[in-house]
Amino acid sequence: MALKIGQDHARFRHIVRGRIRENLRKYITHGELIGRHGKDRVSIPIPHIDIPRFRFDDQQKGGVGQGDGEEGDALGQGEDQPGQGKAGHGEGDHAMEVDVTIEELAEILGEELELPDIEPKGQSKLDQASNKYTGIRRVGPESLRHFRRTYREALKRQIISGSFDSKNPVVIPTTADKRFRSWKTTTEPTANAVIIYMMDVSGSMGDEQKEIVRIESFWIDTWLSKQYKGLESRFIIHDSVAREVDRETFFRTRESGGTMISSAFKLCKSIIEAEYSPDQYNIYPFHFSDGDNWSMDDTLACVELLKKFLIPWSNMFAYGQVESPYGSGQFIKDLREHFSDESRLVMCEIPNKDAIIQSIKDFLGKGH
Amino acid sequence: MSQFALKTRLPAYLRTEQQRITKIAEDFGLDFFPTIFEMTTYDQMSELAAFGGFPTRYPHWRFGMEYERLRKSAEYGLSRIYEMVINNNPSYAYLLEGNSLTDQRLVMAHVLGHVDFFKNNFCFAATDLDTLGKTIDPSNRTADYNPNRRWIDKIANHGSRISRHHARHGIDKVESFIDHVLSLENLIDPWSPFNAPAPVRLDDDEDDEPIEVPRLAAKDYMESYINPADYIEKKRQELEEKREREKSFPAHPRRDVLRFLLDHAPLERWEHDVVHIIRSEAYYFVPQMQTKIMNEGWASYWHSKMMTEKIVDASEIVDYADRNAGVMATSPGQLNPYKLGVELYRHIESRWNKGQFGREWERCDNLDDKKAWNMQLGLGRDKIFQIRKLYNDVTFIDEFLTPEFVAAQKLYTFGYSGKTGNYEIESREFQKVKDKLLFSLTNFGNPIIRVIDANYSNRGELLLEHEHMGVDLRRDYAQAALAALVRCWKRPVAVATTIDKKPVLVRYDGSEHSESPYKV
């Protein structure tokens, strides 16, 4: 049964959405939400929305309680009564948790950062047909016979023709009574996409740098998963060698040792070659590092890989350089030198958490 | 019949239960309106609770917020609404599907206690719709008392009126105005239904009489010392000012601020209607706030009496006791009105059964005698029936809270300690507990605020006064409420209050909040 409260609830959600939008920048920089997301929902704490009235100052007011305890004993925070109670007027300043879907959150992100929708490349190459039962028809295979409709038709016919006997209510359908389910086929172009995250986990990448990458990747996931129905994420970590890991390991691993970025690019290339044909997939490699590569030779190898394979294959190749006390930050300069007019290579320096918003905008703002 | 009613009919076995429990309640002397029970799902229950028990309210987001909160806590198993009943004639109550039979019986018994209270307590007479504002003396009621309390219909009508304003003026505009008026919802006079109409001021010549300052009797040669001329002059000026003040508008402070706005604020017609609706709904809920402890206590007293003596059998008693214990549970820093109410009724019943009242009882100061005091009067039941008719929470606590009761119930006062940043137990002293309790019940825990001048500074500004009783106003909330007043009054509004023991004028002129020292 449809509830009347639906309209009020929608208005409330609308207000909540406004609140989230107001505070989005705070949420982004503090990374509060990331620990709170489930499969397709995020739980967001927002300040309690209240109707202000003339009321007493809570700290001066105090009150009367019941139970054991000596004078001077702390009560702890007054908690709500468990289990029972009428619909009371909620008092106090408890923060409220509201659930929003990832999709809604992406929409809010898009509105707030003014991100353009992405035009998928190679669209309509993959048409997917889906069938849906939508109607009833008079012919069809027995396996799709609609029992209730058929029975009803037969009953109608028997009553009209007078052959129905309420004392012996046997209803026998004839061929003309039979009704079958019918379906419609719709084809939809589906665009598949893959994000390949690469991160430098060499000794010079500290916890703060990784936290930045974690926050960035959460929002990138959020945004791109709204744009593409089938979105996959792959994770590559590297120091002087690269290996593929799962999400958990990606953010937790810390290695020591040198950095050879080309190792990650090579692994990325082979993953794409093996599993994600560039003409069927929208490919988004993201690479994060502190910009401290082992040698100039390796950098040149990277440039080679980017020019020949990775950039032509990808919708966009993003490179985010986080600042670390140990890194020289040379890599981004080298890339700028070699790719000054390549629009599909997006580079961005992220010195601290406050710069995350700008870098998300840089990465996603072009609509590739 | 509406769809809703058709889909929420009680199953047969519960109808039988209802008849049985109704009979038991009547035998105990309870006197209630016809009561209609409906069966609801979790979602419907959350919806109804969000609407304050009504199937239809005016559209507003706050109901949606409440719904989300309730539904979520029901989903997570944090809380469950067992019982909900509307003060309406006939009364409507809701049962939650999926509750055990013992629970449903408990709820029915509890609800009949509430409905008896709705019908008989004098505060609720203010919700009679057919008395044209006059309230009937509850002790002189005829047996066929059957008032019009069709609030479900009235409140549904409010819903369609607000919807019409939405359609005409746009949701955002109307809803934001409702937000503002709701900020003022508590600025009403809970006693106005019982007040005589304001006296019409007689237009006599009093104003023209010269002001005479009363002098102390003194011999001629002492006159200039005992009644010095400058003192007399000062007094004379004070009296003059007082007379001037009486000419101001309003002549007397007005506690029903919403009424004042309706009468005198420059509201558009739809705004007027919104204020009117919110005000009348606020008055509907007043009796429930005035009698929270008494009402819940009364219902709990009767559910426990009926359940344990007549309704449940041995197989259910543990389930019942478990549920009852949950309802009666107390937690630190929060008073459970169910618990306090039912214990106080039992305390009174026992006192009047044993004759522990009156002059002799009070004069007796032998503790052993007092403990053993039993005159076997058996007046307890009659007494509590009388109390449920003629008292509200404030008078109930004021008259019947005793030191013995406070000690037995382990009541204490608590307050915020700046040192530790915690709420701490302050005292278990009888007088302090009683004072604090009465303070929290006075005006249902809301500050008392009156309109004192509608032409403040001779600039058409509205001046209110907060009657300070030891606790300051919460500043950010007061400022927001002032903004709501400015929205209605359309001129600057100020409230005279006390902050940190100094008189202060908190003012909002439509763009800026300010505070300045206030002189009366």
More confident residue, A89 or B108: B108
Segment A275-297 shows an average pLDDT of 86
A50 min Cα distance to partner chain B (Å): 9
Reply yes or no on whether the pLDDT at B113 is more than 90. yes
B positions 269-328 inside 8 Å of A (CB):
326-327
pLDDT average, residue stretch B412-436 = 88
Strands lying side by side in the sheet with B91-96: B35-40, B91-96, B84-86
Same domain for A214 and A171, yes or no, is: no
Q: Do A71 and B427 touch (CB under 8 A)?
A: yes
Asked if A277 and A335 sit in the same domain, the reply is: yes
The pLDDT assigned to A329 comes to 79
pLDDT of residue A127: 64
Residue A7: list chain B partners with CB under 8 A: 59, 64
Q: Does B446 touch chain A (CB under 8 A)?
A: yes
Q: Do B242 and B206 form a contact (C-beta atoms < 8 A)?
A: no
Report the gap between the CA of A41 and the closest CA in chain B (Å). 14
Find the mean pLDDT for residues B55-68.
92
Question: Lowest-confidence range among A323-327, A343-347, B174-178, B367-371?
Answer: A323-327
Are B106 and B16 spatial neighbours (Cβ–Cβ below 8 Å)?
no
The answer to whether residue B184 neighbours chain A at the CB level (below 8 Å) is yes
Residue-wise pLDDT for B151-201, tens only, equals: 999 999 999 999 999 999 999 999 999 999 999 999 999 888 777 665 565
> Could you tell me the pTM of the whole model?
0.77
CB contact under 8 A, A55 and B473: yes
Binned at pLDDT 50, 70 and 90, residue A132 comes out as confident
Portion 107-166 of B in contact with A at CB < 8 A: none
Residue B497, classified by CB atoms within 10 Å of its CB into exposed (0-12), middle (13-18) or buried (19+), is: buried
Decide if A62 and B327 are in contact by the 8 Å CB cutoff.
no
Q: Which of A47-56, B152-161, B211-220, B454-463 has the lowest mean pLDDT?
A: B211-220
Helices (H), A162-255: 207-227, 247-252
Is residue A88 predicted with pLDDT exceeding 80?
no
pLDDT for A25 beyond 70: yes
Tell which of B4, B58, B61, B87 to mutate to test the A interface (max A CBs under 10 Å): B61
Residues A204, A152, single domain; the answer is no
Q: Is residue A332 part of a domain?
A: yes
Q: Say yes or no for a CB contact (<8 Å) between A87 and B82.
A: no
- pLDDT reported for residue B379: 93
Mean pLDDT of chain B: 88
- Note whether A62 contacts B: Cβ–Cβ < 8 A: yes
Region of poorest pLDDT, from A185-189, B27-31, B287-291? A185-189
**Are B471 and A60 in contact (CB < 8 Å)?**
yes
Per-residue confidence (pLDDT) for residue B360, from 0 to 100: 87
- The size of the A-B interface in CB pairs under 8 A is 232
In what helix (H) or strand (E) does residue B259 lie, and over which residues does it extend? Answer: helix B257-264
Instruction: HSE, CB side, 13 Å, CA atoms: give it for residue A4.
Output: 20
Answer whether A2 touches B (CB < 8 Å): no
Interchain proximity A71–B426, CB inside 8 Å: yes
Residues A2 and A102 in one domain: yes
Give yes or no for B477 touching A (CB within 8 A).
yes
Residues from chain A contacting residue B445 (CB–CB below 8 Å):
56
Q: 3-state secondary structure string, B24-90? A: HHHHCCCCCCCEEEEEECHHHHHHHHHCCCCCCCCCCHHHHHHHHHHHHHHHCCCCCCCCEEECCCC
Average pLDDT of the residues of chain A? 81
Q: For residues B56 and B159, is the Cβ–Cβ distance under 8 A? A: yes
What value does the mean pLDDT take over residues B423-436? Answer: 92
Calculate mean pLDDT across residues B212-231.
81
* CATH number of the domain that residue A268 is part of: 3.40.50.410
pLDDT-based confidence at residue B204 (cuts at 50, 70, 90): low
- Residue A89, pLDDT score: 33
pLDDT exceeds 60 at position A122: no
Q: A114, A142, A163: which is the final residue of a domain?
A: A114
A239 and A328 together in one domain: yes
CA gap A354, A322 in Å, rounded:
12
According to DSSP H, which parts of A202-309 are helical?
Answer: 207-227, 247-252, 261-275, 296-305
Of B62, B185, B433, the CB nearest to A53: B185
The partner residue sitting opposite A55, judged by closest CB among B334, B414, B474, is: B474
Phi, psi of B447 (to 5 degrees): -65, 150
Are residue A213 and residue A358 in the same domain, yes or no?
Answer: yes
- Give the CA angle between residues B189, B192, B195 to the nearest 5°: 145
CB contact under 8 Å between B64 and A56, yes or no, is no
Distances (CA, A) of B8 to A176, B100, B121: 41, 17, 30
pLDDT for position A117: 76
Do A314 and A266 lie in one domain? The reply is yes
Give residue for tokens 């009704």. Answer: A179
A4 with B55: Cβ contact below 8 A: yes
Within-domain flag for A60? no
Minimum-distance CB partner of A66 among B52, B335, B475: B335
Q: Is A89 on the interface with B (CB under 8 A)?
A: no
Task: Provide the pLDDT for residue B3.
Answer: 47
Q: Within this chain, do residues A232 and A360 fall inside the same structural domain, yes or no?
A: yes
- Same domain as A183, residue A109: no
Asked if B433 lies within 8 A of A81 by C-beta distance, the reply is no
State percent of chain A over pLDDT 70. Answer: 87
- Nearest CA distance, A133 vs chain B (angstrom): 30
Among chain A residues, CA nearest to B433: A64
**Domain assignment of residue A59, yes or no:** no
Domain that holds residue A332: 192-364
The mean pLDDT of B372-381, rounded to a whole number, is: 90
Q: What mean pLDDT is predicted for residues B7-13?
A: 79
User: Is the Cβ of B167 closer than 8 Å to some Cβ of chain A?
Assistant: no
Q: Which residue, chain included where needed, has tokens 């400015």?
A: B486
pLDDT tens-digit series, residues A28-59: 877 767 666 666 778 887 777 888 999 998 87
Question: Which among B441, B449, B443, B442 is positioned nearest to B467, based on CA atoms?
Answer: B449
A135 and A224: one domain?
no
Nearest CB neighbour to B61, from listed A15, A72, A85: A15
The answer to whether the complex's ipTM is over 0.85 is: no
Query: What letter represents residue B46's amino acid?
Result: S
B32 band by pLDDT with thresholds 50, 70 and 90 = very high
CA dist list (Å): B494 to A253, B241, B515:
61, 21, 9
Instruction: Give the pLDDT mean for B385-412.
Output: 94
Q: Is the pLDDT of residue B206 over 50?
A: yes
CB contact under 8 A, B425 and A90: no
How many residues in chain A? 368
- CB pair distance less than 8 Å for A87 and B66: yes
For the segment A74-87, the average pLDDT, to the nearest whole number, is: 44
Of the listed ranges B188-197, B252-261, B483-492, the one predicted with least confidence: B188-197
User: Which of the residues B9, B331, B343, B439 would you substitute to probe the A interface, choosing the one with the greatest number of A C-beta atoms within 10 Å?
Assistant: B331
Among residues of chain A, what percentage have pLDDT more than 90? 14
Q: Please, which pLDDT band fits residue B416 given cuts at 50, 70 and 90? A: confident
pLDDT(B82) > 90? no
Q: Are residues A220 and A347 in the same domain?
A: yes
In angstroms, the separation between the Cα of residue A14 and the nearest Cα of chain B is 9
Nearest to B473 among A57, A80, A82 (CB): A57
Q: Is the link from the previous residue into B210 a cis peptide, with omega within 30 of 0?
A: no
Does residue A183 lie within any of the structural domains? yes
* Neighboring chain B residues of A12 at a CB cutoff of 8 Å: 61-62, 64-65, 67-68
| pLDDT at residue number B197 | 61
User: Looking at the domain assignment, is residue A74 inside a domain?
Assistant: no
Residues of B within 8 A of A54 (CB-CB) are 186-187, 446-447, 449, 466, 473, 477-478, 481, 495
| Residue B405's pLDDT band (cuts 50, 70, 90) | very high
Q: Is A237 helix (H, G, I), strand (E, B) or coil?
A: strand
Q: What percent of chain B has pLDDT over 90?
A: 60
Look at B412 and A65 and tell me if their CB atoms are within 8 Å. yes
Among B84, B333, B477, select the one facing A65 at the smallest CB separation. B333
Mutate to test the interface with B, among A7, A43, A51 (most CBs of B within 10 A): A51
Check A60 against B472: CB less than 8 A apart: yes
Domain final position from A187, A205, A227:
A187
Which pLDDT score, from 0 to 100, does residue A29 have? 79
CA distance B143 to chain A (A): 31
Residue A316: pLDDT band (50, 70, 90) is: confident
Closest Cα in chain A to B434 = A64
- Say whether B412 and A52 touch across the interface (CB within 8 A): no
The residues, any chain, with a CB within 8 Å of residue B289's CB and separated by 6 or more, are B444
pLDDT recorded at residue B266: 94
In a domain, A359, yes or no: yes
Q: Is the pLDDT of residue A153 over 90?
A: yes
| Cα end-to-end span (Å), chain A | 44
Q: How many domains does chain A have?
A: 3
What per-residue confidence (pLDDT) applies to A177? 92
Rounded to a whole number, what is the distance in Å from the CA of A40 to chain B's nearest CA?
A: 17
**pLDDT of B317-365, one tens digit each?**
999 999 999 889 888 778 899 999 999 999 999 999 999 998 888 888 8
Interchain pair A98, B68: CB under 8 A: yes
Asked whether residue A63 is assigned to any structural domain, the reply reads: no
pLDDT at B520 (0 to 100): 66
CB B102 within 8 A of CB B320: yes
Answer whether residue A265 shows pLDDT above 70.
yes
Question: Which residues sit opposite B498 in a β-bridge?
Answer: B503
Name the one residue in this structure whose structure tokens are 């909620």. A90
- Over 50: is that where the pLDDT of A1 sits? no
For residues A175 and A234, membership in a common domain is answered with: no
Least confident range from B64-73, B445-454, B478-487: namely B64-73
Q: Classify residue A45: in a domain, yes or no.
A: yes
